[in-house]
């Protein structure tokens, strides 16, 4: 089957839409994807593709062996939904109160399933093996790293990994590619400032944790403005601060909760250590203490330029150069596809899902978020073409 035939097949597009809507109506939050997995497994059985269910029933690894030897390509889709009450008014809106696919993972799963079906129909022509990763918990504790630890990149050894994300920033029929650094690493940070309480009328008798915290907040801004090179990107931000109990008492404790976002592993370590040393030094200089707790989250997503070049070339052939956008700047948001990209040469790109006729251009994680379902066949055609190119050794 030619890839262009996918775009022209009304029946195939209808099936993609049906898969997406079935998953959309029956969303499963992170770490509870069993129902979605059962549905996806039934489709894989229908297509004759062997699979294993892993991670306590919340994830699938399917393997399609081509008739000829060659590389192994992994393709990933996340499948979890969000704890958000849907307000789209769609006839196939979520049937579960307080849960919806507000980040397009229903579309990702449908695209991957469509990719699997098309490649299965071409099995005798494939030069190599394709592995399909239906990943859980992207929205919470992360599923990519746990899938890797469970062995999804081995037996057989995966050479490349592909992934995508729908984006309302681009029209349906467009894609955006990013060479190199694509998404940031994320580290949650808690700073617990300790002072000494006393009556507000006698501040000299105590150590004001609120004043210390204020000085820590101000000084931490120099991490970005003076310690990170201007051509680099990083973020240190605090969204929550708690301290004190009454207006006429000097507070003895303040807690700051924030997040650090960086774009490469070395910078990540440097910024974390800078935040820690500044917080502790400022607190000590003012007579207090600061305990700094860093909770490591997703790593930076760094695309492999050679694999991105393949995807960009294929997109130009299928969509036209006017519909292929090169992103100039990385996204300081996070994406746990990063773990695949850290292990294997990978490409993760954005798939346009908006059209001008949609009444609301709601962003991801919005209760009104939806997609132009035409992006399903576009995404499928691109991933099929990308897989074939990688199997055929088109990486430079």
Taking only the tens place, the pLDDT of each residue in 220-255 is 999 999 999 888 889 999 999 999 999 999 999 999
Q: Where are the alpha helices (DSSP H) in 239-373?
A: 265-285, 305-319, 338-343
Report the C-alpha gap between 143 and 87 in whole angstroms: 27
Report the C-alpha gap between 177 and 327 in whole angstroms: 6
Q: What is the pLDDT at residue 361? A: 86
> What is the total residue count of the chain?
396
Closest residue by Cα to residue 173 from 1, 325, 12: 325
Express the helix, strand and coil content of the chain in percent, nearest 5 each.
Answer: 35, 30, 35
Structure tokens at 386: 């990308």
Q: Which CATH code for domain 3-183+300-391? A: 3.40.630.10
DSSP letter, residue 372: -
Q: Where are the alpha helices (DSSP H) in 54-156?
A: 105-121, 144-149
Report the C-alpha gap between 271 and 228 in whole angstroms: 8
Q: Which CATH code for domain 185-296? A: 3.30.70.360
Report the C-alpha gap between 300 and 317 in whole angstroms: 30
Q: What is the pLDDT at residue 6? A: 67
Report the C-alpha gap between 396 and 394 in whole angstroms: 6
Question: How many CA atoms within 13 Å lie on the side-chain side of 151?
Answer: 7
Sequence spans of domains, the chain: 3-183+300-391, 185-296
Mean pLDDT by 10 residues, the chain (396 residues): 68 96 98 98 98 98 97 98 97 98 98 97 95 97 97 98 97 97 96 98 97 98 92 92 96 97 92 97 98 94 98 97 96 95 98 88 95 96 97 94
Q: In this structure, is the dihedral angle defined by the CA atoms of residues 335, 27, 108 and 172, taken in order, positive or negative?
A: negative
Report the C-alpha gap between 40 and 63 in whole angstroms: 14
Q: What is the pLDDT at residue 231? A: 84
């Amino acid at each position: 089957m030619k890839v262009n035939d996918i775009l022209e097949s009304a029946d195939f597009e209808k099936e993609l839409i049906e898969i997406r809507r079935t998953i959309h109506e029956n969303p499963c939050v992170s770490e509870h994807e069993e129902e979605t997995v059962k549905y996806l497994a039934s489709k894989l059985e229908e297509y004759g593709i062997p699979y294993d269910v892993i991670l306590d029933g919340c994830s699938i690894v399917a393997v399609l062996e081509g008739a000829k030897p060659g590389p192994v390509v992994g393709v990933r889709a996340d499948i979890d939904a969000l704890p958000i009450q849907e307000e789209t008014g769609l006839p196939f809106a979520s049937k579960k109160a307080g849960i919806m696919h507000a980040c397009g993972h229903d579309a990702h799963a449908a695209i991957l399933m469509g990719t699997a079906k098309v490649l299965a129909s071409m099995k005798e022509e494939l030069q190599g093996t394709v592995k399909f990763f239906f990943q859980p918990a992207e929205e919470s504790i992360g599923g990519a790293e746990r899938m890797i630890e469970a062995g999804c990149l081995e037996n057989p050894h995966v050479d490349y990994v592909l992934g995508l994300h729908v984006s309302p920033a681009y029209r349906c029929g467009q894609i955006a590619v990013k060479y190199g650094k694509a998404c940031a690493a994320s580290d949650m940070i808690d700073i617990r400032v300790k002072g000494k309480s006393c009556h507000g009328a006698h501040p000299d008798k105590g150590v004001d944790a609120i004043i210390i915290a204020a000085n820590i907040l101000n000084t931490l801004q120099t991490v970005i403005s003076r310690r990170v090179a201007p051509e680099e990107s990083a973020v240190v931000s605090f969204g929550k601060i708690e301290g004190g109990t009454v207006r006429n008492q000097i507070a003895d404790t303040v807690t700051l909760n924030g997040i650090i976002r960086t774009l490469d592993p070395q910078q990540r370590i440097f910024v974390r250590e800078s935040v820690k040393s500044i917080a502790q030094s400022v607190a000590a200089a003012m007579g207090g203490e600061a305990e700094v707790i860093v909770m490591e989250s997703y790593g930076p997503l760094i695309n492999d330029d050679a694999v991105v070049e393949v995807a960009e070339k294929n997109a130009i052939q299928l969509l036209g150069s006017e519909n292929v956008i090169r992103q100039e700047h990385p996204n300081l948001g996070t994406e746990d596809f990063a773990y695949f990209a850290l292990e294997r040469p990978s490409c993760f790109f954005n798939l346009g899902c908006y059209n001008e006729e949609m009444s609301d251009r709601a962003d991801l994680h919005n209760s009104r978020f939806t997609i132009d379902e035409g992006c399903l066949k576009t995404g499928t055609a691109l991933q099929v073409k990308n897989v074939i190119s990688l199997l055929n050794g088109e990486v430079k």
